[in-house]
Amino acid sequence: MSAFKLSPASDPLRKFRSEFVIPTNRQMKASSVPDSLQDEECTYLCGNSLGAMAKRSKALVMEELDVWGSRAVEGHFDHPHGRDWMHIADHVHPYFAEIVGAKESEVACMGTLTANLHLMMNTFYKPTPDRFKILCEAKAFPSDQYAFASQVTAHGFTPQDAVIELSPRPGEFTLREEDILAAITEQGQSIALVLFSGVQYYTGQWFPMEKITKAAQIQGAMCGWDLAHAAGNVPLSLHDWNVDFAVWCTYKYLNAGPGGIGGLFVHDKWSSQPIRAAGWWGHDPQTRFAMPSRFSAIPGAQGFQQSNPSVLATVSLLGPLQLFHEAGGMIPLRERSLKLTGYLEELLHKSQWWITPEWAGEIQLREDRGEEHGEFGFTIITPRDPGSRGAQLSLVFIPLGGRTMPRVLRLLEGQGVVGDSRKPDVIRLAPMPLYNTFEDVERAAKVLEEVLTEVKTSGDIKRAE
Ligand SMILES: *Cc1c(COP(=O)(O)O)cnc(C)c1O
């Protein structure tokens, strides 16, 4: 008996799976799945990359297309379903506030993650000759790295001097809290901005957000967060944690569909911050259509809105956000997430191919030195402490250097187990508590075991690649 697996009777959120469309094995081209199972749903553990489609997203998008056809321009003001397009983003704001732990006035449904990150940095990254550094995690998502580098360059600094990246200790895979806090103290007053991802995309580490925020602010720095992998994954209290700003995308755990509309948080304490890149959608809605020539911002996050939002993208997000709300929000979802991910970890630890992260760290050091080790298998680099991770487990395959992982990924896909890879060595598996089941987790662990056995017995990894 597992302490993690819930029986159907004690798993009330299980019913939400029927609200989603999960592709079949055939649709996912899982060619190794037997014919009799081709039309079964695949084992989709990739909601960290692209969330599954909520049936409501489809229904709402179809409705809006019909309204476009039947009401045309009038849909902006007089909408048969009460969602006049002029106020469409306002339908999202209460849900966003609930998910990130904010007031409605602190969130905005707008733009896309990277664009929003630039907007926030334009306002909150104000370097001086003495205080100009951005402190972040090493191997941040490339888009964030590009944003940091271009921002510091625009202010006349070089990324080498101004972007400080924190790496795990040699032989370790994730950052230690004490090392992050020590770096903040050490860099001290030279830091203008601390900007981490809430949950790290590669390792799955959930950083101690409140402590980092506080430590940054003690040094007089701003603290912002990229919540791409945190929004809809872990419970957040951005307002209470006194976070200065945050940005997120919605196509990962929030299931808004590819390229979905983004989100942004600005703490109330900055509600009268001048808007540096104003647009008409951030203007007071009472007079927006009077077309005044002078900009008058909506106080708070929504003053940053620039353009009228994509209605199709917004309602596609609205569907799954209703489900988050109906499920009771992030607290019960997190409880189920802890069970699902805990169960996945428990099963993976039983694998004959599992290698402890401590040993895997040692193997990594040996590979770095060019030494042979003869080991084969995988480790989990995501922290073992459930309080330091979200839904995702990141599996690193050994031998390292991209020699094992691509074959494992292909074979998993062939069996209809959909995770995703990040080069060179990681496969990410993320059970999503709104639609994944304990059976999904069991199947993933079982198939992985078979796949690794097949890879091992089919011979020399180096030659096969
Ligand atoms: C997914 C992700 C992005 C994607 O950025 P877009 O602007 O939405 O394309 C950026 N940063 C991080 C950390 C991510 O995980």
Pocket test for ligand 1, best of 110, 165, 201 (most atoms within 8 A of CB): 201
Angstrom distances, CA of residue 463 to CA of 2, 246, 272, 358, 458? 40, 46, 62, 28, 11
Ligand 1 pocket check for 141: Cβ under 6 Å: yes
Q: Whose CA is nearest to atom 2 of ligand 1?
A: 228
Q: Whose CA is nearest to atom 1 of ligand 1?
A: 228
CB contact set of 56 (below 8 Å; sequence gap of 6+): 19, 318, 319, 320, 322, 323
- Write down the pLDDT at residue 288: 87
Distance CA 185, CA 207 (A): 17
pTM score, two decimals?
Answer: 0.96
Ligand 1 pocket check for 228: Cβ under 6 Å: yes
Pocket test for ligand 1, best of 109, 110, 114 (most atoms within 8 A of CB): 114
CA-closest candidate to residue 255, choices 198, 319, 197, 312: 319
Separation of CA 201 and ligand 1 centre (Å): 9
Query: Are 233 and 417 within 8 A, CB to CB?
Result: no
pLDDT in tens, 1-58: 899 999 999 999 999 999 999 999 999 999 999 999 999 999 999 999 999 999 999 9
- Write down the pLDDT at residue 461: 53
Q: Where are the alpha helices (DSSP H) in 369-421?
A: 405-414
Query: Are 257 and 132 within 8 A, CB to CB?
Result: no
Residue type, 297: A
Residue 90: pLDDT above 50? yes
Question: How crowded is residue 462: how many other Cβ atoms within 10 Å of its Cβ?
Answer: 10
Separation of CA 59 and ligand 1 centre (Å): 27
- Domains by residue range for the chain, with CATH: 8-41+329-458 (3.90.1150.10), 63-326 (3.40.640.10)
DSSP state of 123: H
Instruction: Give the mean pLDDT of 164-168.
Output: 97
Q: Whose CA is nearest to atom 15 of ligand 1?
A: 228
Residue type, 5: K
Q: Where are the alpha helices (DSSP H) in 36-105?
A: 55-71, 88-100
pLDDT in tens, 279-331: 999 999 999 888 889 999 999 999 999 999 999 999 999 999 999 999 999 99
Structure tokens that stand for 204 in this block? 């799955």
Mean pLDDT of the chain: 96
CA angle 60, 66, 72 (to 5 degrees): 120
R_g (Cα) of the chain, nearest Å: 23
pLDDT in tens, 229-261: 999 999 999 999 999 999 999 999 999 999 999
DSSP sequence for 203-253: T-BB--HHHHHHHHHHTT-EEEEE-TTTTTTS---TTTTT--EEEE-SSST
Distance CA 393, CA 383 (A): 9
Ligand 1 pocket check for 201: Cβ under 6 Å: yes
CA-closest candidate to residue 200, choices 361, 422, 52: 422
Query: What are the phi and psi torsion angles at 251 (to 5°)?
Result: -90, -5
DSSP sequence for 270-300: GTTPPPSS--GGGB-TTTGGG--SS--BPSS
